[in-house]
């Protein structure tokens, strides 16, 4: 699906707008398709039913909210025979599996910290050795995390090779996406800075694999972030960058629009598609509903986290493509592989209102049709 060239990408100075292809291509619109003709009459001005219908349609169901709806696995315990079975399952999960997993994770942390802290403090002079050891240790602790949810991960496709000027992008469902990918190969990631223990981890351990922080409010200052990204991707010895261009966690059934930042670095883009099997657990981290701690606990009391990871063919910017079109093309590749439906919304609309440009476009088109029909006899 290609967004229209030339006339449809309306040039505008608003930053948010430069991020999007033409939304009207995607939205269900009855009214904007047919062009009304004929002399302007009172009923044409007073008939607001198309606009009202669009508003009511949005109230009843809208594609943006659907992206962030949790989809817990279907309950199956609803009769006398299945209920005791389910109850046994609960007992096993909470009283047997959970303590075992906590032990596994604790052991993992002890091993990790007792190796990491000495390496970090003592090997200060030997940069290369220190980096390699820290990378290996981070991969180790990620493996322990994955084991603590009984993660069953199927990796498909060739393992990413470490080459310079290469950036990895993936769809985003939860912060565990990073852990799952990190256990296979060491990535540097760009992340929203979080409070609490997660933030502590970010500023200590993840520093060693080379991470870039931002704040969503600062993300509007795109230049700082882009500069940091560019510097990192040019650096020879840095871990390859892993970017989640959606900018927010989506529920693994839909994909929201990709931010173009990753696609204008002049690097090869290696797409990664991640799909969780929701029969076992809903891996979507609904940050509006739960803290990350609760989310991890939920994962640790489920049977397993089963997911598929596909490493897809690397893509480059084509000569006739803009970065936005490139981003959409890669989003298409990932969405098809992971079975996600695409929606035309910017993930940051979770935190802010849409730009007034969209409403103005509708107003402009109506105004022009009124003025045009006024002239007709």
Partner 1 sequence: MGNTSSMLTQYDIEEVQQHCNNAFSQQEIVSLYERFCQLDRNGGGFVSGEEFLSVPEFAVNPLSQRLLTMLDGLNFKEFVAFLSAFSPRATVQQKIEFIVKVYDSDGNGKVTFNDMLDVLHDLTGQFISEHQREQVLTKVLEEAGYTKESLLVMSDFVKILGSSGLKMEVEVPVD
Residues that bind partner 1 (CB under 8 A): 27, 30, 40-65, 69, 288, 345, 349, 353-354, 358-360, 362-364, 366-368, 370-371, 374
For partner 1, the closer of residues 178 and 285 by Cβ is: 285
Q: What is the dihedral of CA 357, 361, 364, 368, to 10 degrees?
A: 160
Least separation in angstroms between residue 82's CB and partner 1 is 21
Polymer length in residues for the chain:
377
For partner 1, the closer of residues 53 and 161 by Cβ is: 53
Least separation in angstroms between residue 56's CB and partner 1 is 5
Q: For residue 119, what are the contacts with CB-CB under 8 A and spacing of at least 6?
A: 130, 133, 134, 137
For partner 1, the closer of residues 3 and 290 by Cβ is: 290
Ramachandran region of residue 6, left (φ > 0), alpha (ψ -120 to 50) or beta?
left
Least separation in angstroms between residue 234's CB and partner 1 is 36
Least separation in angstroms between residue 34's CB and partner 1 is 11
* Nearest partner of 242 among 267, 215, 219, judged by Cα: 267
DSSP structure string for 8-20:
GS---S-HHHHT-
Return d(Cα 20, Cα 361) in angstroms, integer. 14
Query: Is the distance from CB of 287 to CB of 247 less than 8 angstroms?
Result: no
If one counts every other C-beta atom within 10 angstroms of the C-beta of residue 112, the result is: 17
For partner 1, the closer of residues 200 and 370 by Cβ is: 370
Least separation in angstroms between residue 287's CB and partner 1 is 13
For partner 1, the closer of residues 40 and 219 by Cβ is: 40
């Amino acid at each position: 699906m290609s967004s229209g060239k030339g006339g449809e990408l309306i040039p505008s100075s608003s930053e948010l707008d430069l991020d999007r292809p033409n939304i009207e291509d995607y939205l269900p619109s009855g009214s904007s398709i047919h062009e009304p003709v004929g002399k302007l009459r009172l009923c044409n001005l007073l008939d607001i039913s198309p606009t009202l219908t669009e508003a009511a349609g949005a109230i009843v169901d809208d594609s943006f909210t659907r992206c962030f709806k949790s989809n817990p696995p279907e309950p199956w315990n609803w009769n006398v025979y299945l209920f005791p079975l389910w109850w046994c399952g609960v007992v096993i999960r909470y009283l047997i599996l959970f303590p075992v997993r906590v032990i596994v994770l604790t052991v993992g942390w002890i091993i990790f910290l007792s190796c990491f802290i000495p390496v970090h403090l003592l090997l200060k002079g030997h940069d290369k050795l220190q980096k390699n050891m820290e990378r290996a240790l981070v991969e180790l602790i990620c493996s322990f995390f994955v084991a603590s949810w009984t993660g069953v991960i199927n990796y498909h496709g060739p393992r990413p090779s470490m080459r310079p000027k290469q950036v990895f992008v993936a769809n985003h469902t939860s912060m565990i996406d990073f852990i799952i990918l990190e256990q296979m190969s060491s990535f540097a990631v760009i992340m929203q800075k979080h409070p609490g223990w997660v933030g502590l981890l970010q500023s200590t351990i993840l520093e060693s694999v080379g991470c870039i922080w931002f704040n969503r409010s600062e993300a509007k200052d795109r230049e700082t972030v882009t500069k940091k990204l560019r510097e990192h991707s040019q650096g020879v010895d840095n871990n390859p960058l892993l970017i989640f261009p959606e900018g927010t966690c989506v529920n693994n059934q839909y994909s929201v629009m990709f931010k173009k930042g990753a696609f204008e670095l002049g690097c090869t883009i290696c797409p990664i598609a991640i799909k969780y099997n929701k029969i076992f657990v809903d891996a979507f981290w609904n940050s509006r509903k739960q803290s990350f701690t609760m989310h991890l606990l939920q994962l640790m009391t489920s049977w397993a986290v089963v997911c598929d990871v596909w490493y897809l063919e690397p893509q480059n910017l084509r000569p006739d493509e803009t970065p936005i079109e490139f981003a959409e093309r890669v989003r298409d590749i990932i969405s098809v592989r992971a079975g996600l439906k695409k929606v035309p919304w910017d993930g940051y609309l979770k935190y802010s209102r849409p730009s007034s440009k969209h409403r103005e476009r509708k107003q402009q088109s109506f105004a022009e049709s009124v003025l045009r029909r006024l002239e007709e006899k």
